[in-house]
Structure formats: C-alpha cells, structure tokens
Amino acid sequence: MTFATLGLIEPLLRSLETLGYQTPTPVQAQAIPAVLAGRDLMAAAQTGTGKTAGFALPLLQLLAMEGPKVTANSVRALILVPTRELAEQVHEAVRQYAENLPLSTYAVYGGVSINPQMMKLRKGVDLLVATPGRLLDLFRQNALKFNQLQTLVLDEADRMLDLGFSEELGNIYKALPKKRQTLLFSATFSDAIRTLAGQMLNDPLSIEVSPRNVAANTVKQWVVTVDKKRKPELFIHLLRKGKWKQVLVFAKTRNGVDALVEKLQGLGINADGIHGDKPQATRQRALDRFKSSEVQILVATDVAARGLDIEDLPLVVNFDLPIVAEDYIHRIGRTGRAGATGQAISLVCADEVNLLSAIETLTRQTLPRQMEHDFEPEHRVPDTDASGQVVKKPKKPKKPKTSSSGKRNLGKWVESGEASAPEPSIKPVRKVPVFNTGPRKRKP
C-alpha cells in the first residue's frame, strides 16, 4: 500500500516524498480514507505510530479541495491539543505537509503575548492549532470566529476530555457550529472517555490498530526498587554506570524537577528542566537544546508526556511514577518511536506501590523488577501483578522468645537440654498451734 492508493492528491504526495514517508502506518491507512469520506472518527493507536499525519493529511486535502476562501478572523479547521509543546510540534508537521498547498496555518497557545496572535488572525487562517485556554481568550476578545469551521480535531483526546479541560471544552463547543466533522485521536481511551466522546460525535467510525492502553512493544520496560530518599543518588549512579548520553526524565512535581536539575548541574552534568511555571520561550529553548543533544538530561513534568517527537530518543526514566496510569504509556512513548527501540526505567519506592499496580493493570503486564547493589530498599516494595492486586506475602511465624538461660519458652512447656528447673519455692503456710485448756480425754 502507498499513500497514493489512499486517495491523497499530488501536492501532498510531493511533501511526503520530501519528508521521506514511504508507506502508510496502520492508523494512517485506516484513518485517511475515513476522514476524506467526511466521517466522524475516534482513533486509538500507540504513540509514535503516525497519528498526526493520519488526521492532518486528509484534513489539508479537504481544505484545499472544498469550501470557500477563509474570511477575516475566521478559521476553517481547528486542532485542539493539551500543551504548548504539542501545539508547536503538531503545527510544524502540518506546515511541512502543506508546503505545496495554498493554505494558511498557525498555532496559538498561552505563555506568550496574545497581541501578535490577534494580528495574525486578522486575515483568517485555514487551519489553526490551539490550546483551549488561549483559544477561548482569542474568541472572547473577538479575534476569532467559528462560523466557517468545517472540522474539529481533538489530539490526545483522553487528556482533552479529562476533567481539567472539561469547562474550557464546554465553552468552546457552545461556540462551534453544530454541523461539523469531529475527529478524536489518542493513544489511550478510558471507558468513561469513550462514553463522553460518543455523545459528541455523529455516527463515528472507531479505529483501533493496537490493543487498548498497551505500550509499544519496541520499548523495554523495567522497575528498580529503591527508598524514596535515595532516588537522586540512584539515578546518578545509573547514569554513570550506563553511560547514558540522552535521557528524558519525568518527575511528579515542578519542585521535583527543579531540585533534580539543580543537583545534576551541581555535579557538572548538563541538565535542564521544563514545567508549567516556566515561560514558554524558556521551555521551548530547553526542548530544542535537548533535541539537538546540547543538553544531556531533560527533566520534565507530564507537560512533556504527550505527543513530543524526539528523534531516536534511547531512554526514558520515570523518576516518579505518574498519578494517572495512562500517562505512563504516553511518557514511555517518547522512546521506541517509528519502529525504533527504546528503554523505560521506573524508580519505584514503597509509597508508589498502588500507582505501580494501576499501571500494570492498565497495560496488562507485570513489570520486571531489579534491585541495584548498595541501593536495596529498607522499605520493601510489595509485589504486584497485572490483576491490580498488591500481593502480600504471608507473615513468617514469630520465633519463640529465648530466655537468658538459653531456654525457649513454649507456653506451658519448657524445652532445654538440661533438666527442667524446679518449680519456684512456695512459702509454707504457717500452722498456728491450738491450745486446749480442758482435761485431756483418753482414747477408749
């Protein structure tokens, strides 16, 4: 199968040839004809399998072939994404695909000045990539209209439909035309999300090109157990032992990111970090330096877990396990992309056993464990399995207490190589003499 057999037009085929795309991936092979046919779509596929091209290519073709010219402050197609980094990445892919088409594309997101974005939108944009918050800001300031909208795409739809975005999405839906094509793409879909998505889409076609919520088999995964306080020390030990050249590290909190980066930089290790508190320009600069190998270690919160494409990234380390199990799949999906192999190591302490269990249940696999010499945890991490149970080992029978004399107390019995000790002496009851003052009677 080729991209030409999927019905793509010649300008798109030229762009794909320039980019080195040869044959469609499974998700592209199923999604492209469905989108071209105007179907609503809900597509699930593992990270790194080409989902962006699966919706962007046919969407660009529809925009080039159909519909009126875009008017001022309007948009004809909208792609919503959860993070600023993903907005930049998706727009860059779209821009490359549209190189030979007479279409305008743009990306808007928070963390940067809104004024240049408002200026850019004055002439209208055929395809806009946006984060929900900034999109609403632009709409409320009358810098953006949706009357020409033909297609809505939710990329990383599970996160987009999560509670954190529900209010923003609700307000966006109210402003969109009811008659539109809606496409949902993601690596993971929970049952609750599927139910909600089913209410948004019109007779949707469902595509699943791999088992639900399963990490790519190109990624080798394992767990190293350790006490929480020794995680930084263990990470540095593994870094030096493995001679790691490029590592993406995920920490749970922004403070955790900053603390690890500071520790690594203090040891002369070239490290940087990204999280939501940092300005967008700083985050993008750190990511660009990491992609170009100017930075050896990039520490990030889950802001970097979704959709980021880092070419040939060999290793992902979960310094902390994610609170949401689905984020584990997205995190380790930064490696082992496009058929390449990768590794994912998770440093797990006893406090995280329930998070580990949730991940194993979701992925339907029990992650192999290792212990590093001199880093064996004092607080044992209970065993887990893919059934979602924390396996509690049976308690060992208590050893009988040993007395100072070497005898073991067995309850009422005493075991000893010697004769048992005599019963403790009992003080005899003193007999009080009875005096009889009467005459003694003789026995008959």
Per-residue 3-state assignment (H helix, E strand, C coil) for the chain: CCCHHHCCCHHHHHHHHHHCCCCCCHHHHHHHHHHHCCCCEEEECCCCCCHHHHHHHHHHHHHHHCCCCCCCCEEEEEEECCCHHHHHHHHHHHHHHCCCCCCCEEEECCCCCCHHHHHHHCCCEEEEEECHHHHHHHHHCCCCECCCCCEEEEECHHHHCCHHHHHHHHHHHHHCCCCCEEEEEECCCCHHHHHHHHHHCCCCEEEECCCCCCCCCCEEEEEEECCHHHHHHHHHHHHHHHCCCCEEEECCCHHHHHHHHHHHHHCCCCEEEECCCCCHHHHHHHHHHHHCCCCCEEEECHHHCCCCCCCCCCEEEECCCCCCHHHHHHHHCCCCCCCCCEEEEEEECHHHHHHHHHHHHHHCCCCCEECCCCCCCCCCCCEECCCCCEECCCCCCCCCCECCCCCEEECCEEECCCCCCCCCCCCCCCCCCCCCCCCCCCCC
Distance CA 177, CA 159 (A): 23
**Among the three residues 391, 409, 428, which one is the final residue of a domain in this structure?**
391
Q: Are residues 141 and 223 in the same domain?
A: no
Q: Is the same domain home to 183 and 286?
A: no
Tens of pLDDT, residue by residue over 291-328, are 888 999 999 998 776 656 777 789 999 999 998 888 89
Same domain, 233 and 301: yes
Structural domain count of the chain: 2
CA 395 to chain centre: 35
**pLDDT of 266 higher than 60:** yes
Residue 430 lies in a domain: no
**Residue 397 within a domain:** no
% of residues, the chain, pLDDT over 70: 82
Find the mean pLDDT for residues 67-78. 93
Of 150 and 283, the structure prediction assigns the larger pLDDT to 150
Query: pLDDT-based confidence at 277, cuts 50/70/90?
Result: confident
Query: What local confidence, expressed as pLDDT, does residue 419 receive?
Result: 40
Question: Looking at the predicted structure, is the pLDDT value of residue 406 above 70?
Answer: no
Contact predicate 260/251, CB 8 Å: yes
**386 — pLDDT class (breaks 50, 70, 90):** confident
Report pLDDT for 67. Answer: 76
| Residues 198 and 244 grouped into a single domain | no
Q: Is residue 432 part of a domain?
A: no
- Give CA separation, 282 vs 260, 273, 313, in Å: 18, 9, 21
- Residue 42 and residue 178 in one domain: yes
In order of 1, 28, 204, the CA distances from 7 in angstroms are 11, 12, 21
Domain-located, residue 197: yes
**Dihedral sign from CA coordinates of 344, 45, 134, 194:** negative
Q: What is the structure's pLDDT at 425?
A: 45
What does the buried/exposed string (b/e) look like for 249-268 if buried means 16 or more CB atoms within 10 Å of the residue's CB? Answer: bbbbebebbbebbebbeeee
Whether 53 is covered by a domain: the verdict is yes
Write out the two tokens for 299.
């520490």
| 37: amino acid identity, one letter | A
Residue 40 lies in a domain: yes
Q: For residue 80, what are the domain limits?
A: 4-208
The answer to whether residue 442 sits within a structural domain is no
List pLDDT tens digits, range 90-149. 999 999 999 999 999 999 999 899 999 999 999 999 999 999 999 999 999 999 999 999
- More confidently predicted of 406 and 98: 98
| Residues 300 and 371 both lie in one domain | yes
Q: Is the pLDDT of residue 427 over 50?
A: no
Question: Is 50 exceeded by the pLDDT of residue 423?
Answer: no
409 or 145, which is more confident? 145
CA dihedral 345, 347, 351, 357 (to 10 degrees): 10
Q: Which of 283, 270, 281, 330 is nearest to 305 (CA)?
A: 330
Q: Copy the structure tokens of residue 426.
A: 């009992």
pLDDT of residue 243: 93
> Does the pLDDT of residue 340 top 80, yes or no?
no
Question: Given 375, 391, 407, which residue is the final one in a domain?
Answer: 391
Per-residue pLDDT at 259: 95
Task: Tell me: do 31 and 150 sit in the same domain.
Answer: yes
Average pLDDT, the chain: 84
pLDDT mean over 252-279: 92
Q: What is the CATH number of the domain that holds 285?
A: 3.40.50.300
User: What pLDDT shows up at residue 208?
Assistant: 82
Q: What's the whole-number mean pLDDT along residues 26-38?
A: 94
Alpha carbons 50 and 128: distance in angstroms, whole number: 20
Question: Contact 157/186 with Cβ under 8 angstroms?
Answer: yes
The phi and psi torsions of 187 (rounded to 5 degrees) equal: -85, -25
As beta bridge partners, residue 107 has 129
Q: CB–CB of 18/160 below 8 Å?
A: no
With bands split at pLDDT 50, 70 and 90, how would you rate the model's confidence at 421? Answer: very low
45 and 190, same domain (yes or no)? yes
Of 417 and 326, the structure prediction assigns the larger pLDDT to 326
Q: Mean pLDDT: which of 147-161, 264-278, 382-396 is highest? A: 264-278
Report residue 143 as tokens.
């810098």
* Cα 315 off chain centre by: 15
By percentage, how much of the chain surpasses pLDDT 90? 53
Q: Rounded to an integer, what distance in angstroms lies between the CA atom of residue 70 and that of residue 64?
A: 11
Instruction: Please give the pLDDT value at position 182.
Output: 94
Bridge partners of 44, per DSSP, are: 186, 208
- 349 versus 83: the higher-pLDDT residue is 349
pLDDT attached to residue 371: 94
Quote the pLDDT of residue 257: 94
pTM to 2 decimal places: 0.66
- Do residue 239 and residue 142 come from a single domain? no
The pLDDT value recorded for residue 430 is 46
Comparison of pLDDT for 359 and 166, the residue scoring more? 359
Higher pLDDT, 401 or 26: 26
Q: What is the pLDDT of residue 287?
A: 87
Same domain, 290 and 144: no
Q: Quick one: average pLDDT of 87-91?
A: 92
CA Rg value for the chain: 33
pLDDT band at 212 (very low <50, low <70, confident <90, very high): low
Q: Which of 163, 187, 208 is the last residue of a domain?
A: 208
State whether 224 and 203 are in the same domain: no
Q: What pLDDT score does 426 carry?
A: 45
pLDDT score recorded for residue 321: 95
pLDDT at 388: 65
- Asked, for residue 9, whether it belongs to a domain, the answer is yes
Within 10 A of 392 (CB to CB), how many other CB atoms are there?
8
Is there a single domain that holds both residue 150 and residue 25?
Answer: yes
